[in-house]
Chains A and B, each alone.
Chain A
Amino acid sequence: MKRSLQMITNKQLIACREQIFSYNDNYQVPFYGRRKSIAEIKELNANLKPGETIIISQPLGTGKSFLINHMISTRDLNVPVATKSLVPKTIGKDKDVLKSFPGDTIVVDEADIKTPAKKLIEGIKNLADYLDDTGKKAIVIGDYTLHNKDISGALKRRVVLNNFEPIDSDFLRGVLRERFKKFLLDGIDTNFDLNSVIEPALIEYLTPSWMDYANSFRGIFSLLQKLVADKELIKYNSNQAYLTVDMVREMLNTDDNENYDEPQKLFLEYLKQYIKEKYPKGRGINNGFSVKELFQLQMNIDDKTGIVEFEEEILYPLAVSGMLVSTGVPGFSKDTKEFIRRPAPYFPSLELMLLADEL
């Protein structure tokens, strides 16, 4: 006998929004996908020689730590279950913490722009020395900072993970389906249809192919969490929950632009128009925008702004605010000993894309 489709109500979705759209480790969400990454890490790990390091270098919020923690919990790595990763900041301050890490493979997380460059360098140096001295191995997880030799150069014997599945629509659907199943469907494998809760077009919008390697679960889930928390758009009632592209747009449009000053707002408006005309639905943005390309747009608005000023006063704030997604390798200033965070190339964020397409 055919079972009826499971209906998710607004009430249920509101109650479980933090779990379903969780992007931190506050909730134990089911692991899904990443078969290729797991297979490659297993192989790299099996062949890892003393003193060597596996480098997992991907953008923030893409699920690197979740992947490694999952592999630890399933005993796919020779690290005791429930071991907490070390972070460079702690290792930099006290290298003896490395001695307390159990087993032969040390896991170091957050080797990224969140840690001040000086502390990151110190931490990585202490780790490298320790590996040299003891012949132990390591897995280091971080963002593209790890590509910068000025910062991570101390780790000389490194093998880099190549397979890290991009967040495409199938991946996102799989992740969401598992989470709905766990948190709202009592773990029962019902004939639940994700399309009945989230408009297919919204899933497509959230996972554009041109953004494969710049997209993040955090970007997607924070947007969805914010949408479900919007009391104007999602009322607490027993109606069927259904999240749509239009709702996201409405939410973004009511989000005022007060975070930006006038030159930033002008540039943002111009950029939306440019994307809409030249890259409809983002098609063609393959390698992201260079500073030069974006500066040309600025010149059409105001030819008095210099490129350095443009980078500092307009581009960087837009990257900090998440409107532009940086995919460049963070730099390091030897003078100030500080990071040069969020460099080009840039991709438009999901928010920016949704707003641009609406014009």
Chain B
Amino acid sequence: MSEENFLYWKELVGLDRTDFPKLAKPTEEGAHRIKISPSRTERIRKKIMENEKVAVLVNPGWGATTLFYWIEKDLRPRELNLLITFNFEKYGFDGIIDEEDFVFSVKWKMAKEIIDSFRQGSFQERYMYEVLSFEETGNTRWGKYLVDKSRDIKDCERKRDRFYKEWPFFEKYSITDIIYYFLRNFQLQTIFMFLFPRKAREDDVLEFVGNIKMLLDEQMDDEQKKMPAAFREVYFITPWMFKILNQDYERPYMEERFERYSSAELFSMLVQTYQERGQVVTINDIFDELFISRVYNTKLTIDEIMDEVREEIVSFLDGDFSNVPYRLSLSMEDEKEFTDDHK
């Protein structure tokens, strides 16, 4: 009966076509739909500014993907940096364990990002020309060439030979050379951001770090080592995966533990998840925050907490459907009744 009452209540308030109370699933495009408190993200941004290697530790099931997308959007202003992201949670380690594949993947992303930067920012022409192998012949205009290259880079995503043939700058130079070229000539800092899966084979993690070490640390010459601002590595990772990542390689990371969201923050996310549904009223008007705070438990994941919230609602709505209220409220009296019932 209470399940039916719950569905009835959702109809009443216009949530019947939603998964309420599930929170929005993170997507790249919808990253900013859920707002993360600026004080939290500011700490991460500051760590990235101050340190070459940063590990943002997020407990499993506590929003690493959302945070990753959020910070990605946040760091995108292309006049300042070149953001190269790898979402291993979504795509796994396939295609990057092999060193050559990884190099291609990184270089392709660098090419894609730099061309977007060229289209949006102002940089010295001769350096842009060199990167894109542009020659003034009188027949080709730079603007059109840029647009063509921008289209071309997308076609090269999985075509290594074609990419290196048509983008010779990226074949000629190593990743570190390109990074320092961008810093020197465009004042762009390259930021690598990796979203690690919650679980992965130890061999894969070690191979990945081995590749990173070989491509970034060992390729640097002494002059490049003196330019610590050239690039950043940022890992979004569970504390446990970080242990594996950090245990055997001598690569010092600055850790930033991303504390679990509070009950109030989860409520705020819930409100934001359902606020774009064209409703006159918001979740805040029809749903009590206490439903979350009562089941809030740091040992659960966010999804598990919201499942518990659903059960709480269903349990709360037990009884005759004519008594289903419009506003679900655990007022002082309700709370007392609930507590008495559960004693």
Contacts and interface: CB of A to CB of B under 8 A. Distances in A.
Nearest to A93: B99
Interface in B246-267: 247-252, 254
Contacts of B178: none
B244 A116 contact: no
A24 B248 contact: no
A322 B203 CA distance: 17
B250 A24 contact: yes
Interface string A38-62: 0000000000000000000000110
A218 B243 contact: no
Contact of B59 (A18, A114, A258, A339): A258
Nearest to A85: B218
B48 to A, nearest CB: 15
A67 to B, nearest CB: 14
A225 interface: yes
B210 A321 contact: no
Contacts of B243: 259, 320-322
Contacts of A225: 252
Contact of B203 (A25, A116, A259): A116
A104 interface: no
A93 to B, nearest CB: 8
Contacts of B248: 60, 112-114
Contacts of B210: 87, 89, 110, 114-115
Contacts of B239: 258-259
A349 B252 CA distance: 18
Lowest 9 CB-CB distances: which A-B pairs, in order? A24-B250, A321-B243, A259-B239, A116-B203, A114-B248, A114-B206, A23-B250, A259-B240, A320-B243
B332 to A, nearest CB: 34
Nearest to A229: B254
B202 interface: yes
Contacts of B240: 259, 317, 321
13 contacts: A24-B217, A25-B217, A25-B250, A84-B218, A87-B214, A113-B206, A113-B248, A115-B206, A116-B207, A218-B250, A225-B252, A258-B239, A341-B202
A163 interface: no
Contacts of B160: none
Given A23-B250, A258-B59, 10 more contacts: A24-B217, A25-B217, A26-B217, A87-B210, A115-B210, A218-B250, A259-B243, A320-B202, A320-B243, A338-B203
Given A26-B217, A320-B244, A61 B206 contact: no
A317 B206 CA distance: 16
A114 B249 contact: yes
A225 B249 CA distance: 16
B76 interface: no
B225 interface: yes
A240 interface: no
A138 B198 CA distance: 40
Nearest to A143: B248
Contact of A61 (B203, B209, B250, B254): B250
A223 to B, nearest CB: 12
Q: Which of B202, B218, B248, B251 has the most chain A CB within a 10 Å cutoff? A: B248
B222 to A, nearest CB: 9
Contacts of B249: 114
Contacts of B252: 18, 23-24, 222, 225
B247 A320 contact: yes
A339 B207 CA distance: 13
Which residue, A61, A84, A222, A320, has most C-beta atoms of chain B within 10 A?
A: A320
A110 B207 CA distance: 12
Contacts of A26: 217, 225
B4 to A, nearest CB: 38
Nearest to A65: B250
A321 B247 contact: yes
Contacts of B225: 26
A339 B248 CA distance: 14
Contacts of B203: 116, 338-339
Of B214, B225, B240, most buried by chain A (CB within 10 Å of CB) is: B240
Interface string B152-182: 0000000000000000000000000000000
A145 B233 CA distance: 30
A142 to B, nearest CB: 12
A321 B240 CA distance: 8
B206 A116 contact: yes
Contacts of A341: 202
Contacts of A321: 240, 243, 247
A190 B91 CA distance: 56
A208 to B, nearest CB: 21
B276 to A, nearest CB: 34
Nearest to B218: A84
Nearest to A89: B210
Contacts of B247: 320-322
Interface in B193-231: 202-203, 206-207, 209-210, 214, 217-218, 225
A113 B251 CA distance: 16
Contacts of A320: 202, 243-244, 247
Interface string A152-187: 000000000000000000000000000000000000
A64 B248 CA distance: 14
Contacts of B250: 23-25, 61, 218
Interface string A74-92: 0000000000100101000
A89 B211 CA distance: 10
Contacts of A116: 203, 206-207
Name which of A225, A321, A339 has the most chain B CB atoms within 10 A of its CB: A321
A100 to B, nearest CB: 16
Interface in A104-130: 110, 112-116
Nearest to A260: B240
Interface string A314-343: 000100111000000000000000110100
A236 B59 CA distance: 30
A339 B205 CA distance: 14
B180 to A, nearest CB: 15
Interface in A200-254: 218, 222, 225, 229
